[in-house]
Amino acid sequence: MELPAALNEKHRRQADDFRNRLVKMARHYRRWPTRQQTDCFRLYDRDIPNIPLAIDRYGDCLHIAVYEKPDAESTPRRETWLAFLTQLAGETLGTPPENIFVKRRRRQLEASQYERQGEQRRELVVTESGLKFLVNLSDYLDTGLFLDHRVTRSLVRAEAAGTRFLNLFAYTGAFTVYAAAGGAAATTTVDLSNTYLAWAERNLQLNRMDGPQHRRVRDDARKFLEYHPPRPSYDLAVVDPPTFSRSKKLEYDWDIQRDHVDLLNRLLRLMTPRGVVYFSTNFRRFKLQTDELRGAEAREISRQTVPPDFRERRIHRCWRLVKT
């Protein structure tokens, strides 16, 4: 591909490195769809300084996130550079332009992160570990499936047999699908958003898991726990809250650092003895207040749960809590 006139020798060298990296990763993941039954994974994760992209493959599409500093200026040269890189990625990976979706990511309050941003409805069904998930690559900043929790989801599936499973802040219910696939006796999927609960229902249906034992509840996670009958009701749970959440549906602002102890203690009261809670956050500066948790042993397992295709090892942090 010819380098646009506005770009220089330094750009050319970086573009060459970028192309080589993509070729290498594409080769590395060539057998994943058949061997791992997974056709969605991260191909490029800000590997080259000055090329701040995260490129994910979803089936035959590419989802490209451009990471921008909060104060980054959009100069014509930078736009040319980004457009060139996007085109280069498509060409190198054999993906036509209509199957490439580019999103700009600025550091922002997560409240707006989950809002709809478009109406193109480019939905497709992808496969992860043999399970099916509906993703929408065009209309939201996120796609409906957070790829960095692939390993965590597998841990849940491995422990789910015969359990009553609770998914708080469930988003599109990917953890619920895994729990059901692992043989959970019953699942409860809680989210504040009807849109995401409907999406979770479609994900369950896609995997033929739409029996009455799979319950969906539109509620604030905290309220759900507060008004829950006060008896041990769950053997396995996932809690993956946003860092902050501000919603018209909420009487308060959710702040994970401030509110996690109260939430987890309320949840622990509803867990059966030796019940397991997977708790995760994307908040880098998060500190789990272990001393204030009542009746649980907590172990951080982030090193195990961040998948190998994520070079950014701080993408999430994850703890396994066992009710004592």
Ligand X SMILES: C[S@@+](CC[C@H](N)C(=O)[O-])C[C@H]1O[C@@H](n2cnc3c(N)ncnc32)[C@H](O)[C@@H]1O
Which one of residues 85, 100, 179, 221 is an interface residue with ligand X (CB under 6 A)? 221
Separation between Cα atoms, residue 223 and residue 191, nearest integer Å: 11
- Asked whether position 146 contacts ligand X by CB under 6 A, the answer is yes
Separation between Cα atoms, residue 225 and residue 264, nearest integer Å: 10
Which one, 47 or 220, has the nearer CB to ligand X?
Answer: 220
Which one of residues 44, 58, 169, 278 is an interface residue with ligand X (CB under 6 A)? 169
- Asked whether position 41 contacts ligand X by CB under 6 A, the answer is no
- Asked whether position 114 contacts ligand X by CB under 6 A, the answer is yes
- Asked whether position 176 contacts ligand X by CB under 6 A, the answer is no
- Asked whether position 193 contacts ligand X by CB under 6 A, the answer is yes
Q: Least distance from C-beta 7 to ligand X, angstroms?
A: 37
- Asked whether position 242 contacts ligand X by CB under 6 A, the answer is yes
For 133, the token pair is 């998930």
DSSP 233-298: -EEEEEE---SEE--TT-SS-EEHHHHHHHHHHHHHTTEEEEEEEEEEE--TT----GGG-SSEEE
Choose the binding region for ligand X from 53-61, 123-131, 242-250, 261-269 (rule: CB under 6 A): 242-250
Which one, 81 or 279, has the nearer CB to ligand X?
Answer: 279
Choose the binding region for ligand X from 59-67, 189-197, 228-236, 300-308 (rule: CB under 6 A): 189-197
Helix, strand and coil in the chain, % to nearest 5 = 35, 25, 40
Which one, 90 or 241, has the nearer CB to ligand X?
Answer: 241
Angle formed at CA 158 by CA 152 and CA 162, multiple of 5 degrees: 125
Which one, 82 or 160, has the nearer CB to ligand X?
Answer: 160
Which one, 128 or 220, has the nearer CB to ligand X?
Answer: 220
Choose the binding region for ligand X from 21-29, 87-95, 124-132, 184-192 (rule: CB under 6 A): 184-192
**Type of residue numbered 239:** V
- Asked whether position 149 contacts ligand X by CB under 6 A, the answer is yes
Contact 281, 316 (CB under 8 A): yes
Separation between Cα atoms, residue 298 and residue 61, nearest integer Å: 38
Q: Which residues contact 12 (CB under 8 A, 6 or more apart)?
A: 3
Choose the binding region for ligand X from 44-52, 81-89, 164-172, 268-276 (rule: CB under 6 A): 164-172
Which one, 15 or 239, has the nearer CB to ligand X?
Answer: 239
For 110, the token pair is 């997560």
Contact 62, 29 (CB under 8 A): no
Separation between Cα atoms, residue 126 and residue 57, nearest integer Å: 10
Q: Do β-strands 271-281 and 296-300 pair in parallel, antiparallel, or remain unpaired?
A: unpaired
Which one of residues 56, 191, 235, 309 is an interface residue with ligand X (CB under 6 A)? 191
Which one of residues 40, 64, 192, 315 is an interface residue with ligand X (CB under 6 A)? 192
Which one of residues 178, 254, 283, 319 is an interface residue with ligand X (CB under 6 A)? 254
Separation between Cα atoms, residue 232 and residue 214, nearest integer Å: 18
Choose the binding region for ligand X from 46-54, 67-75, 237-245, 297-305 (rule: CB under 6 A): 237-245
Using CB atoms, what's the residue nearest to ligand X?
A: 240
> What count of residues does the chain have?
324
Q: Which residues bind ligand X (CB under 6 A)?
A: 114, 146, 149, 169-172, 174-175, 190-193, 196, 220-221, 240, 242, 245, 250, 254
